[in-house]
Chain A
C-alpha cells in the first residue's frame, strides 16, 4: 500500500481526481480516501507537526503499515516555502513557484534533529533540503539564521519532519519520500487554496509516474517465505505431526525444508519414500526424533 499524506484538502484534491479515490466514511478524525485496488490510501492531516504525526500514526496503525508481506510506502506531498540566500527583492524574482522537489534531508527547526530518507529509486525531480518549522515561514524570519550555512537554498514546511518521525515507527527510511512544491518564498498568506490545488495539479503527471513506478517496484520487492504457500505449509504441518515434533524440532524441520526448497532439493519425494518404507508416521516422540535425524541425512 502507498500512503499519501497531505496537509490540506487543496493538496489532496488532484490525487482524489487523478486516482479516483473514494472517501472512507468509517474515519471520523481525519479525511481518508482509498482507491478501488487497495493500493493507494490518502489522508489529509491538517497543517503542522502534531496533526501530521497523528494522521500518519492513525493510518499506519489502521492498515498495519510495515507489518504485512506486501511492501508499503509513505509519500508526503504538499506545498512549501522557499528560503534562499538572496536579498528579499531578488528572492521574489528567484522564487521557483510550481517547482517540484524531492527532499534528501529533513531538518526540524524546533529540535535541531535531521532525518535522511533513502533515495533508492530513479526520479525526475530536483532534490533539495527541507526545514520543518512550527509556524509559517513569514512568522519566523530568523529561521534562516538557525540553519547554518551549508546550503544556498532550502525548502520550508510545517509537516515533513513530523511525517518522517511518525512514519519511522512503522516503516524504514527506504519506504518514505517527501515531494514538495514551491508555493511562495515567505508570503504564504497570499497563497489561496485554489492556487495550491493548481500547483499540485500542474505536477500530477510526474508525481503519478513516480507512484506508478513505486507500485511496480513494491510488487517486485515483496518477499515472502518460500514455505508460506498453502500446499507447502500443509505438507510441513503434516510432517510435523508425523514426526511428533516439539517446537524446537519443528523449527529445525522448517529450516531444513526451507533450505531444500531454495536449493532445489525435492524434499517431497524423500518424505514420500519414508512413508512408503513405513518410517513415517512415527508412533511417538522418541521414534520421531530418530526419524528426523534420518530425514536430515537424506535431505543434505
Chain B
C-alpha cells in the first residue's frame, strides 16, 4: 500500500516564523528570499514556537518549519565530554543553527530539543564578536556544526561561507582559530565555488550504506559522500573522516569492512587531516526521550549499557567494533592521526 505520509505533509519550510526583532535583519531578508511562497508568521521569541510543550519531534521533521531568531545569552559553550577534542585545548562549540535537515534515527538532537523545527540565528556577527574576544586570550578550537549540519543548510543560509571569511581575518599565529564543520552533506558545488581557508576542517561523517539506509534518512549515500570528500581534498580543503558513531548490526564487521574498502578506493588517505572513530553513545536523558518518540527504531531501542548517565554498547562490543576499524585504518593512516573518542 502506498504510504499516505508524503502526500499529507506540508512541504519543508512552508511556514517560517520570524522574531519581530530580526524581521529587518539582512540575513533574515536573504533567507526569506529563498522561500517566496512560505507563510511568514511574526513571533516575539523563538522559544514561543520552539519550546511549546507536547511537540512531536518526529512528525515535525516530516514537515519541518524554519524559525529565524536572534541568539542571546551564552553564544559559545565549552565542548561536551562525550565529544572528541582531537587533542585540542580550549575546545568550544557554538550553535548558529539548531536542528538538522537530515533525519538520523540515532541523533542526540532528537533527545535534546523539544521540537523538530529548525532555528537559524541570524545574528552571526554577535557570535563572531564572542569568538574574537576568546581569541584575545587564547587559541580556540571551535565546532560550529554539532547541533545541525551547517553545510547541508549552506544553500539556504550561506553560513559556512561567512565562517570561512571570518576565519580568514583571524591571522594571529599565536592565537589560532581552528574550526570544525561536521557534515554528512555531499554538495560538491561548495568546494567548486569556494576557496579553502586555513584552520577550517570539514569533518565528513561516513557510515556503511546499510546503516545509511536503515538510520540516516534523507542523507546522501556513502558513494556521494566519498565523491564529495575526494573533491574537497583535491581542491585543498582540510578533510577529517569521522567513523563516528559506529552503529551495531549483526554483520557489522562485514559492513564496516566493506565501507573501508570503498573509502580506501576513493580517498587518498595521505591527504586527510585525521580520522575519528567512536561507537554510538548518548546521555540517558536524551535516549529516554528518543525511545519514547521512536518506538519502532532498532538503533534507538538497542539494549545499551548505562554508565554514569551515558548509554553505550558493552565494553566488549565497543572494543571489538572500534578495534576492528582502527586496525584496518592503521594500514593507511598513521596512528597519531586516528582519534578514539575515549
Q: Which A residues contact B (CB, under 8 angstroms)? A: 104-105, 114-116, 118-122, 127, 129, 150-151, 168, 171-175, 213, 216-217, 220-221, 223-226, 252, 255-256, 258-259, 262-263, 265, 296, 300
Contact = CB atoms under 8 A, between A and B. Distances in A.
Nearest to B42: A150
A259 B54 contact: no
A150 B20 contact: yes
Interface string B1-25: 0011101111000110100100000
Given A150-B20, A262-B298, 17 more contacts: A104-B15, A114-B48, A116-B43, A116-B52, A118-B60, A119-B15, A119-B39, A122-B8, A122-B9, A127-B39, A151-B42, A168-B52, A168-B54, A217-B4, A217-B8, A220-B4, A262-B297
B14 A114 contact: no
Nearest to A265: B250
B60 A120 contact: yes
Given A116-B49, A121-B10, A223-B295, A258 B60 contact: no
A25 B297 CA distance: 44
Contact of A171 (B10, B54, B59, B297): B54
19 contacts: A115-B52, A116-B52, A118-B55, A121-B9, A122-B7, A168-B52, A168-B53, A172-B52, A173-B52, A173-B55, A174-B59, A220-B4, A259-B301, A259-B302, A259-B303, A262-B296, A263-B250, A300-B303, A300-B317
Interface of B: 3-5, 7-10, 14-15, 17, 20, 39, 41-44, 48-49, 52-56, 59-60, 62-63, 65, 248-250, 295-298, 301-303, 317
A292 B210 CA distance: 30
Query: Do most interface residues of chain A lie in helix, strand or loop, or is the interface mixed?
Result: mixed
B54 A255 contact: no
A164 to B, nearest CB: 10
Nearest to B11: A122
Given A121-B9, A259-B303, A263-B250, A172 B56 contact: yes
Nearest to B302: A259
A116 B9 contact: no
Contact of A213 (B8, B297, B317): B8
Contacts of B297: 262
A216 B250 CA distance: 36
Contacts of A173: 52, 54-55
Contact of A105 (B7, B41, B298): B41
Nearest to B52: A173
A22 B55 CA distance: 33
B55 A220 contact: no
A224 B296 CA distance: 8
A258 to B, nearest CB: 5
A93 B303 CA distance: 65
B296 A120 contact: no
B146 to A, nearest CB: 26
Contacts of A168: 52-54
B3 A220 contact: yes
B53 to A, nearest CB: 6
Nearest to B317: A300
Contacts of B48: 114, 116
Given A121-B10, A174-B56, A216 B303 contact: no
Contact of A120 (B49, B62, B303): B62
Contacts of B62: 120
A120 to B, nearest CB: 4
A121 B8 contact: yes
B39 A226 contact: no
Contacts of B317: 300
Instruction: Enumerate the 10 nearest inter-chain pairs by beta-carbon distance, A residue then B residue, closest first.
Output: A172-B54, A262-B298, A263-B298, A255-B303, A120-B63, A150-B42, A217-B8, A256-B303, A259-B301, A174-B56
Contacts of B43: 114, 116
Contacts of A150: 20, 42
A127 B10 CA distance: 13
Contacts of A151: 42
Nearest to A115: B52
A174 B60 contact: yes
B295 A252 contact: no
Contact of A220 (B5, B41, B42): B5
A290 B258 CA distance: 36
Nearest to A151: B42
Nearest to A221: B59
A122 B39 CA distance: 13
Contact of A116 (B17, B20, B295, B301): B17
Contacts of B9: 120-122
Contacts of B248: 300
Contacts of B39: 104, 119, 127
A255 B300 CA distance: 10
Nearest to A296: B303
A192 B3 CA distance: 44
